[in-house]
Structure 1
Amino acid sequence: MTQTKPIIEIVNVVASATIEQRLDLLDIEKKFPGVEYHPEQFPGAVFRLQEPKTATLLFGSGKMVNTGGKSEEMSVKAVNKVVQKLRKGKIKIKNKPIVTIQNIVSSINLGGKVNLEQAARTLPRSMYEPEQFPGLIHRMLDPKTVILIFSSGKLVCVGAKLEAEIHRSVNQIHSLLEEKNLMIYD
């Protein structure tokens, strides 16, 4: 039995953003009781949204980091919503945020097991030290991603900046594993 298509789920998108102006984090903390700001521990304030369920770190420099999105689109929407809420709370923001996707983390199920010992010997740019970490670490060149491969046939792909790069990475590694007879199907 062979599985034709891997199941891919995006679990986290990390996006950075800037509004190219300073932010008064103490003022934001005062106006938004849900915002967490402890400058003695960390220089940023945490602005959480329930919808979409994300967290955005705000820095005095006007830079932001959004995490928790499940798509590029959701991350951009979350940053824009935070800026919109700040404006409604009388925080003057002149510019539209410039959002850049930094990293997309996804979880993949290939639907079969992987012979990691053999894969470590066969796949280029791979590292497998089972006494250190149970997965094989495979570095792809194009797209530039890192794929953690587990014997269960589950993968974690990190480093993508576009959702399309995840699909390309996963399809490439899946084809390579198939081609080298490293997949085991029950």
Structure 2
Amino acid sequence: MVETTVVNVIGTITYQQEIALGALADTLSQRNEITSVTYEPAENHWLQTRFAPDNTYVAFYRSGRCSIVGSNSVDHIYEIADCVNTVIRDILDFNYEPKVEISNIVATADIGSSIHLETLALELGMNHVEYEPEQFPALMYRGENYTALIFASGKVLCTGLTKMEETTKAVEDLASRLKGVK
């Protein structure tokens, strides 16, 4: 069994209405739960905030969507979503439960041995692999519903899944395939 470490979880909240970002920025800048607010419409079309206590990055979009980035667990995404919803309920008028979704989990693992990437490219099948060592030092493997970067050192980065169980299984399955390649 390979230990999988979550390095980033990205979640979204969907509000069923357009958000006036300028007004939201003014209001959020006065809230204690918010450690920073940046809204520069000439540079970015979204409102950037950081929520206490750990400065989690939360971006608001005019469309009514909100992204939470930089968490290290699915549970943390839901905790931050609750904080965001509490603040937004004080600002926006809605009487529904906003939809919270996990949109991506990024995890790493170390299989514990080095890998010959040229051999691995052939083993995994060229239709699932991109490997150009002159451009990037890792092999990119496209699984059924995820993408993995595999380094010669035996380190693996897996992205694209939305459930922790799926991510762990993908890393373990991949690691078992990699162990035989030297």
TM-score normalised by length of structure 2: 0.87
| 2:47 aligned partner | 45
Does the residue aligned with 1:35 lie in a helix, a strand or coil?
Answer: strand
Residue 129 (structure 1) aligns with: 132
1:25 and 2:21 matched? yes
Q: What is the letter of the counterpart of residue 153 of structure 1?
A: G
Q: Compute the RMSD of aligned alpha carbons.
A: 1.7
What is the CA-CA distance between 1:61 and the residue it aligns to?
2.3
Q: Given residue 19 of structure 1, which amino acid in structure 2 is its aligned partner? A: Y
SS at match of 2:4: strand
Match of 1:106 in 2: 107
| 2:62 alignment partner AA | G
Q: Deviations over 1:22-48 (max 9, x none)?
A: 222222211222321111111211121
Whether contact under 8 Å (1:52, 1:69) holds in the other structure is no
Unaligned runs of 5+ in 2: 30-35
Which residue pairs with 2:32 in the alignment?
Answer: none
Cα distance between partner residues in 2 of 1:51 and 1:108: 28
Unpaired segments ≥5 residues, structure 1? none
Instruction: Tell me the distance in 2 between the aligned counterparts of 1:128 and 1:60.
Output: 39
Q: Match of 1:177? A: 178
Deviation at 1:153, TM superposition (A): 0.8
| Letter in structure 2 aligned against 1:135 | A
Shift of 1:119: 0.7
Residue of structure 2 aligned with 1:56, choices 40, 58, 61: 58
- The runs of 4+ residues in structure 1 deviating greater than 6 Å are none
Q: Is the 8 A contact 1:115 1:151 kept in 2?
A: yes
* Deviations, residues 89-125 of structure 1 (Å, cap 9, x unaligned): x443433220121111111111221121211121121
For 1:60 and 1:37, the matched residues in 2 are separated by 12
> For the residues of structure 1 that align with 2:37 and 2:96, how far apart are their CA atoms?
22
CA offsets 1:148-180 (integer angstroms, 9 cap, x no match): 1001111110101111111111111111123xx
> Alignment partner for residue 80 of structure 1, among 65, 79, 82?
82
Structure-1-length-normalised TM-score:
0.85
Secondary structure, in 3 states, of the residue corresponding to 2:107? strand
